[in-house]
């Protein structure tokens, strides 16, 4: 009996303390969560090679997002980021010719340039994770020290920011405070936008179609109000299609990161079109290439004769689409310059300004005709000045094409 009582007591105690033992065992077997390793990436906002490597880095960051802290610093954004870059190049003992971007530090190693990063970054990160190897510098502490004034600036002798055509990296600007370049140094300006848009606006194709539309409306004895309404719908069709085409082309150039190639291509095309335009202006009896195709012209004229709002709006779109052989090369040149400057919101404002100026002569002619200006006189003036305008446009296009190629290569 006593023996049975001892066995029962033992079982009771075993059951009572078993959960605690299990909890303790579980606590012992739980492994600590490993800390993420830091990867630091230095780039410059205007470095074409940095833009080129961006999609690859986004994929790498997504792949290792649970195992790494991927830190990005624009060396031209803030002075502390610039000084952090200098500190890393100093601690990692980078030669002066390698203190450039895109540059990545991981553990005790670094990668420089597009090719080096694309070929080696994935394997290097995996290796650093396996070794739990972190950076030589606590970058957060450095930035805190900088903010608290506990760090002196470094001003090494580095080259002016530019892409090296023989390499896949860029040097960084050696300005005193790391500020972004002055807008005055940009290849494009409001003055250039206004000048080129004004030249492009003296467009024989769009003006000729508008004059035909006004003549049709006058023949149909349309009221002044209807002439203005129909004419404005046509002009809006020209404006909106030209503007949206510009946004689409600019977006495609930036998305595929082909600004440099497009700039050179556009420069060559603009120069060729310039010679053709000058030749056609000097030799009016020769074959005219920079015109709307005859088939398209007939379609547009048929739409105009209908005189309805949808018809003239569609005619405006067709004129914009097919008038590119007339003066569209100027527009292409401006879009190429915008892509070269890596513009964002500013580009849309410049495009808006360009296209408002582009349709301004059409608005002036429409208002003048609605208020009784003789259409035949305007037509006569257009025909008399058409060849001279072609020569003027040709000269402007030649200058723009040369500037496009020069600003891209140099």
Q: What is the pLDDT along the chain (410 residues), one digit of tens a residue?
A: 555 555 555 554 554 544 544 444 444 444 444 578 889 998 887 788 888 888 899 899 888 988 888 888 888 777 778 888 888 888 888 887 777 889 999 988 999 988 999 999 999 999 988 888 888 888 777 777 766 666 655 555 443 344 444 456 666 654 334 444 444 445 577 888 888 888 778 766 667 777 777 777 776 677 888 888 888 998 999 899 989 988 888 888 777 767 677 778 878 888 888 888 888 888 887 777 666 667 766 777 777 777 788 888 988 888 777 766 566 677 877 887 777 655 566 788 889 999 999 899 889 888 888 887 777 777 787 778 878 888 887 888 888 888 878 877 76
pLDDT of residue 4: 53
H/E run at residue 376: helix 375-409
Distance CA 247, CA 242 (A): 9
Q: Is-contact 298 218, C-beta < 8 A?
A: no
Q: Please give the C-alpha separations between residue 53 and each of 5, 66, 93, 114, 261, in angstroms, as whole numbers.
A: 77, 21, 24, 6, 17
How many other C-beta atoms lie within 10 A of the C-beta of residue 92?
17
Q: Is-contact 347 250, C-beta < 8 A?
A: yes
Residue 230 sits at the vertex; the CA angle it makes with 225 and 231, to the nearest 5 degrees, is 95
pLDDT of residue 368: 86
pLDDT of residue 151: 60
pLDDT of residue 26: 45
Fold category of 37-171 in CATH: Glutaredoxin (3.40.30)
Which parts of 64-107 fold into alpha helices (H)? 79-91
Phi, psi of 86 (to 5 degrees): -60, -40
pLDDT of residue 357: 93
Q: How many CA atoms lie within 13 A of 205 on its CB side?
A: 27
Token pair recorded at residue 190:
């409001």
Distance CA 308, CA 230 (A): 7
- Closest to 124 in 3D by CA, of 44, 88, 51, 70: 70
Token pair recorded at residue 196:
């080129």
Dihedral (CA of 187, 188, 194, 200) sign: positive
Q: In what order do the strands lie in the sheet with 109-112?
A: 68-74, 37-43, 103-106, 109-112
pLDDT of residue 201: 81
Distance CA 99, CA 116 (A): 14
Token pair recorded at residue 339:
């892509």
Residue 250 sits at the vertex; the CA angle it makes with 244 and 254, to the nearest 5 degrees, is 145
Q: Please give the C-alpha separations between residue 410 and each of 98, 402, 406, in angstroms, as whole numbers.
A: 22, 12, 6
Which parts of 30-166 fold into alpha helices (H)? 48-63, 79-91, 114-131, 139-147
Taking the alpha carbons at both ends of the chain, their separation in whole angstroms is: 105
Going by the DSSP 8-state scheme, the letter that residue 281 receives in this structure is: H
pLDDT of residue 239: 92
Where along the chain do the CATH 3.40.30.10 domains lie?
A: 37-171
pLDDT of residue 161: 41
Packed helices 345-370 and 204-219: angle between N→C axes, nearest 10 degrees: 40
Which parts of 283-374 fold into alpha helices (H)? 294-306, 309-322, 324-340, 345-370
């Amino acid at each position: 009996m006593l023996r049975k009582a001892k066995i029962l007591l033992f079982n009771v105690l075993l059951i009572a303390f078993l959960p605690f033992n299990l909890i303790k065992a579980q606590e012992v077997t739980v492994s600590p969560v490993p800390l993420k390793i830091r990867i630091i990436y230095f780039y410059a906002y205007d470095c074409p090679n940095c833009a080129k490597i961006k999609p690859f880095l986004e994929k790498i960051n997504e792949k290792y997002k649970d195992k790494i802290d991927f830190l990005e610093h624009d060396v031209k954004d803030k002075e502390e980021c610039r000084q952090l870059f200098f500190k890393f190049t100093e601690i990692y003992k980078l030669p002066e010719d390698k203190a450039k971007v895109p540059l990545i530090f991981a553990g005790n190693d670094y990668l420089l340039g597009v090719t080096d990063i694309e070929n080696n970054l994935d394997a290097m990160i995996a290796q650093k994770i396996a070794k739990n190897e972190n950076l030589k510098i606590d970058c957060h502490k450095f930035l805190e020290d900088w903010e608290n004034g506990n760090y002196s600036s470094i001003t090494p002798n580095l080259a002016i920011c530019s892409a090296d055509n023989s390499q896949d990296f860029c040097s960084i600007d050696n300005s005193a405070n790391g500020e972004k370049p002055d807008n005055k140094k940009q290849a494009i300006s409001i003055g250039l936008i206004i000048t080129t848009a004004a030249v492009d606006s003296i467009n024989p194709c769009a003006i000729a179609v508008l004059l035909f539309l006004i003549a049709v409306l006058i023949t149909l004895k349309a009221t002044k109000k209807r002439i203005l309404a129909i004419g404005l719908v046509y002009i809006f069709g020209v404006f909106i299609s030209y503007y949206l085409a510009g946004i689409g082309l600019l977006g495609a150039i930036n998305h595929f990161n082909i600004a440099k190639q497009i700039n050179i291509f556009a420069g060559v095309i603009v120069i060729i079109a310039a010679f053709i335009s000058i030749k056609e202006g000097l030799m009016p009896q020769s074959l005219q290439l920079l015109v709307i195709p005859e088939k398209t012209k007939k379609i547009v004229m048929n739409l105009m004769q209908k005189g309805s709002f949808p018809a003239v709006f569609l005619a405006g779109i067709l004129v914009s689409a097919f008038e590119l052989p007339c003066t569209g090369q100027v527009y292409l040149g401006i879009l190429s310059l915008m892509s070269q400057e890596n513009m964002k919101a500013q580009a849309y404002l410049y495009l808006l300004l360009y296209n408002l100026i582009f349709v301004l002569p059409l608005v002036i002619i429409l208002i003048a005709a609605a208020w009784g200006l003789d259409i035949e006189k305007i037509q006569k003036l257009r025909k008399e000045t058409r060849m001279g305008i072609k020569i003027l446009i040709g000269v402007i296009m030649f200058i723009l094409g040369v500037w496009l190629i020069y600003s891209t290569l140099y």
